[in-house]
Structure 1
């Protein structure tokens, strides 16, 4: 009997913990620059596009930047895509108002970190 109650209690805890992981409009996130060359799950422009626009090609300008979730889209395959805007209202790299990101993959890879 104790094992059944313990199992149900653990199952309930896991369900409530996973339910809080869903993104909502207005949630705050922090962009963290990955150790690799570029971002894989946040759709920032590639280095050649930044060079053509005259922007420095490293991603230091977006490192530790606080962003707000502006829109949440759920795909047919179950992945969640979010539209991100800067909290201060400025543009990414001086020309992008918003960027797309695969929420679950970007959080898992450490490219985005949720602010509690």
Structure 2
């Protein structure tokens, strides 16, 4: 009985872990920043946006769909992803892609799984 329970728990934990993985081509929704700025998605600072002639706001990226362009797992088991807008536009009219710490961005709500 014990071995069946251990097997069940092992399979359950594996299935939970498998759901959290991200792969190239996955679509994510950009959520609101947890504070004034994004902590886990590497968007430029607001003063940089002003210098580039843009409005000092992240509102134009909230709710946008982004495609995972690449996935990199670091030695410390953090997963870094590179995102590109699904619409083909550039982020803030000058960045083709941005990077993010996947696990922390999902946990904070800065990125969300897109529901179809």
- Indicate whether the TM-score tops 0.5: yes
Match of 1:29 in 2: 28
Aligned residues: 115
2:106 is the counterpart of 1:107: yes
After TM superposition, the score normalised by the length of structure 1 is 0.92
Match of 1:70 in 2: 69
Match of 1:51 in 2: 50
8 A contact 2:40–2:105 mirrored in 1:
yes
Q: Deviations over 1:11-68 (max 9, x none)?
A: 3112112112111000000000124101000000001100111111111100010000
Alpha-carbon separation, structure 1, partners of 2:62 and 2:50 = 18
Alpha-carbon separation, structure 2, partners of 1:26 and 1:76 = 23
The alpha carbon displacement at 1:73 in A equals: 1.0
Structure 2: 5+ residue stretches without partners: none
CA RMSD of aligned residues (A): 1.3
